Amino acid sequence: METEYRPRHPLDLRRVLLFQRRGAGDPTHLDAGHVLWRACRTPEGVATVALRQAAGGAVRGAAWGPGADWAISQLPALCGRDDDLEGFDASLHPLVAETHRRNPGLRLGRTDLVFDALAGAIIEQKVTGKQAFAAWRRIVRGFGERAPGPTPVPMHAPPSVDGWRHVPSWAWHRAGLEPPQARTLVAAAQRGTRIERATHAAPTGDERDRVLTSLPGVGVWTAAETRIRAFGDPDAVSVGDYHVAHEVGFALTGARTDDDGMLELLAPWTGHRQRVIRLIGLSGVHEQRRGPRVHPEDHRDR
């Protein structure tokens, strides 16, 4: 199936789509130069999507697999069609204003695939990005489904909700996940379909948080990360993140801060706090790291 999406606003397709990628080796995403590939498990089955942005800004898409219809219909939302800047005032801080001016194509896209976003966020709990991305690769390649279509290299869609539930304990261990993460993911998969329905039905971000944090082992950070990817939530803030509060504080005031301080600094942009965090990330202003880097702990040979 093929389609063409003509956005009514500037769009940086590469930046919007690759935000969904979990590390450079993510088997669900491939940056092949002029074409961006994505493998996903839709409500109608697995699909592969290939996207190319034309010189005039239009996005040309092709899809393969049983979920191709759904993926083609969802493509505009994935590209940020539903991202609404109403009420966003970049002029409240010069750094935010300048970065917003330099990045008119930044949009907050949504996948509408709640459990994929939730599973990835659970895997990233309390570990380094390198550890989390490696675990995601191992599990998706080992227990996901081969993506259909003429992909340049083999790609895989994530496991189904039931598939996540039946990943054996040894596979979690070999992937580098600690038992609390594995237990949380399996418990979430046992209620996965109900969680997906409830979060889509929830009218606000707070209600979605309430649904997600009802799961054992899922806190506000995991809920926010899920909302950001699945719904393109412009106001979600990952409270409890190892770096975000420090980066926000340094960018806006020149000094690091904690979560409470971050929320106070972001309060003038309520409704668009995630947008501001993304702009800060694109600004090039970063706090100089202090002390040694966190050393990943590998327990797989124990």
The residue out of 84, 112, 130 marking a domain boundary is 84
Total domains in the fold of the chain = 2
The residue out of 44, 65, 84 marking a domain boundary is 84
Co-location of 68 and 168 in the same domain? no
Read off the pLDDT of residues 220-252 as tens digits, 9 standing for 90 and up: 999 999 999 999 999 999 999 989 999 999 999
Co-location of 264 and 164 in the same domain? yes
Q: What CATH number does residue 32 fall under?
A: 3.30.310.20
Q: Chain-wide mean pLDDT for the chain?
A: 94
Q: How far apart are CA 255 and CA 167, in angstroms?
A: 44
pLDDT tier, 286 (very low <50, low <70, confident <90, very high otherwise): confident
Q: How far apart are CA 197 and CA 288, in angstroms?
A: 42
Confidence (pTM): 0.93
Q: How far apart are CA 204 and CA 112, in angstroms?
A: 15
Co-location of 169 and 278 in the same domain? yes
Q: Buried b vs exposed e over 8-24: b needs ≥16 C-beta within 10 Å?
A: eeebbbebbbbbbbbee
Cβ atoms within 10 Å, residue 90: 19
Residue 259 structure tokens:
């979560």
Token pair 């940020």 is found at 80
Which structural domain range is residue 24 located in? 2-84
Read off the pLDDT of residues 2-60 as tens digits, 9 standing for 90 and up: 999 999 999 999 999 999 999 999 999 999 989 999 999 999 999 999 999 998 999 99
Co-location of 68 and 128 in the same domain? no
Cβ atoms within 10 Å, residue 102: 12
